[in-house]
Amino acid sequence: MSTRRRDFVVFADDWGRHPSSCQHLFARIAREHRVLWVNTIGTRKPTLSAADLARGLEKAREWATKGRENGAARRSDQGGEGERRESAVEVIAPLMTPFDHWGAFRSLNAGLLRRAVRKALDERGFARPILVTTIPNAWGVVGEIDERASIYYCVDDFAEWPGADRESMQAMEAKLLRRVDLVIATSAALVEDKRRTHARVQHLPHGVDWPRFQRTDEPPPAAIAEKPRPRIGYVGLTDERLDVALIEDVARAMPEASFLFVGPRQLAKGPLDEMPNIHFIPPVPYERVPSVLRALDAAILPYRAEGRLAERLSPLKALEILAAGVPLIATPLPELVRLGRGVRIARSAEEVRGALRSAIDVEDEASRNARAQSVREESWESRASHFLELIEQARTRSPKRPAEPRSEAPRSEAPRSEAPLRVTTLTPEDEAAWDELVEASPEGSLYHRSGWARVIRNAFDQKPLYQVAKAGEAIEGVLPLIAFRNPLFGRYLVSMPYLNRGGIVARTERARKALLAKARSLLESTHSKFCELRHESPIDPTLPARTDKVSMDLDVTEGAEALWKAIGPKVRNLIRKAQKAGLTTREADLRDLPAFYEIFAENMRDLGTPVYTQAFFQETLREFPEETRLTLVEEEEGTPVAGGICLTQGDRTEMHWAAASRRALPRSPNMLLYWEAIENAAKTGLQTFCFGRATEGSGPHRFKKQWGAKPTRLQWEYLLAPGATQPAMNPENPKFALAIKAWKKLPVAITKVLGPPIVRHIP
């Protein structure tokens, strides 16, 4: 996992009752972090139906039992990646009324929940937990338990669920959105929806326990095995979201097939019950679901495809069906259309029938294996790691705001002018306002500052296309952009080249959309193949993205002494080795830049990479004198053998460029260089030391990880021209292997001449 040990308190569906996405995530997170899981009431308005009365009795028994047990720990065995690792989740079930649709009872429930959770946290010694909720009902606890951060993990549009009280759900969610620090949503439509009322919304799709669905040795339940083939199945909650008319039409036209609906049922009896080839089978334990799926000839997800709920629905079972290798036919829910990868989309009963018959007639083991392999990387382990990264990122980028007055005024996005929005090219008169917006925004970084336009134009002779979204004279958003014309790759746009971050920074959603539209327009008008937006967090989940790069960050708030103890004996010994060899560090300036450049050029040659022009570093130091820090490592006689340039903004500093002379490597000058930079960051009151970006699993990634740095996944998003594909301009591309090998053999002096004209075209 990607963070230090934390305490979590989670408000969600009853633990262990159904395998929800939140339960999958926290079964993994609980392996390394303490988790207090709070079972809460449902989101539907209760009725006098037999099902609701039975559920009410079940909750009453749980409240009584949990009250006596005081939330005894439950053990979860939801492993992954081929192993089963036990994780402890402590579960409590506070007493709450089932009448959240009445305002007085909402307030009562909020008070009951607050008192129960505070008591449980005190008893367990949870210190400043991270609060996560998947349901709006927990609005009254946010900001009341001294939490480090609060997250709304939004998995559905509960106000649109069958049986839900829309007004009460919307009221509670509005209160929740005004209070939480971060929203993490599971579908692109939910992301878009929540961004209308919250400034920090991230996308995290569902995952899958892939190894679990590869098991082939377990027979299906008898209720499945006894049904004649071909078997067509749906696994999940059967309710009003399903298209009953479509199901009836398909089943009537395929009397030879058995249609199995496996799982809890909330759908009223009707025409489906009268059909001899439709069978409703009670829920099976989650561990039996793989055997159910593998007994099917095809699976269906026959949801109603129209309406607000359908737009936001992201069925958890889709990836599980594909992981089991089963052909999947689905109605055109937007999330399933985006998923692609083996999902056959059918828009009518006739198309469903055709797709099912095709799947039954031509399916073979090779097709099943290919389908399973297509989702192998979508593991819950990776989703849990990314979930923690998003939380840490929110905490480090956006300090915890004080508790807000409990007024009902909407928080939504930053205030905006009523004037119409226009997007124009940056002028010198707007540079100060541009930089003010960047510095005030959680998404802003030093790399978004207006001065980089001068640096890149002067050093590389590249054309800046810096875009400003303005309402009247007020700036609502910015997009730094550089236009390239590469002899090998053609024309393209990048934000920001030669740097680790870039992309859109906006105070309002309309500015974000306007700048993205402007980028698309520039893509067309400049005849470019692609526009690369180097975001740290995605702004549009529908865009293709490169996610193999991570930023390696180290929290330095505990001070230099604690960091020295934490880095471990191996790293400490290498630092001492450099010190015993007589190496020392010195803060340098522009006059020392040629010495640094000599070391840097040699290092880049050894890596097989063309070197930047020295003018790039010179322009950077001149443009940002207060934000840059050049450090040299020198031998006793004063000869530099290593050097690095750190860039600082706010409470964060990053070692963006570093190099060490090959002849000095046995004395570990690079280790001394990094330690001095880390120590300086801690002593000067900064919060984060960034080692720069790295590809996961690479040598640089392992080097940075050994210091205790944690990854924050970068999201480089792409706008593509018609017919264009996502670029692969990186050293790992096999077609560059020969060129890299040849470059390593060149004299350094030659690479300093040939390198700059080449690298100016490589962002």
- What confidence tens digit (pLDDT) does each residue in 636-662 have? 889 999 999 999 988 899 999 999 999
CA angle 751, 757, 758 (to 5 degrees): 75
Q: How far apart are CA 246 and CA 358, in angstroms?
A: 18
Beta bridge partners of 634: 584, 640
For residue 267, give the nearest of 155, 163, 135, 159 by alpha carbon: 163
Residue 158 is predicted with a pLDDT of: 78
Residue 529 is predicted with a pLDDT of: 93
- The ranges of the chain with pLDDT < 70 are 1-4, 41-87, 96-108, 161-164, 340-341, 394-418, 729-735
Residue 65 is predicted with a pLDDT of: 55
CA angle 407, 410, 413 (to 5 degrees): 140
Output phi, psi for 639, to 5 deg: -80, 125
Q: How far apart are CA 681 and CA 606, in angstroms?
A: 29
Q: Which residues contact 205 (CB under 8 A, 6 or more apart)?
A: 186, 187, 314, 378, 383, 541
- Provide the edge-to-edge strand list for the sheet that holds 474-479: 421-425, 467-471, 474-479, 505-506
Using H for helix, E for strand and C for coil, what is the string for 289-343? HHHHHHCCCEEEECECCCCHHHHHCCCCHHHHHHHCCCCEEECCCHHHHHHCCCE
Residue 125 is predicted with a pLDDT of: 86
Q: How far is CA 86 from CA 6, 32, 125, in A?
A: 18, 10, 22
Q: How far is CA 223 from CA 275, 280, 408, 585, in A?
A: 17, 10, 52, 73
Q: How, if at all, do strands 87-92 and 34-39 pair?
A: parallel
Residue 53 is predicted with a pLDDT of: 44
- What confidence tens digit (pLDDT) does each residue in 658-704 have? 999 999 999 999 999 999 999 999 998 899 999 998 887 788 889 99
Strands (E), 51-191: 73-76, 87-92, 130-133, 149-154, 182-185
The enclosing H or E element of 579 equals helix 569-580
Residue 538 is predicted with a pLDDT of: 83
Residue 75 is predicted with a pLDDT of: 41
Tell the burial category of 219 from Cβ atoms under 10 Å away from its Cβ (0-12, 13-18, 19+).
Answer: exposed
Q: What is the reported pTM?
A: 0.57
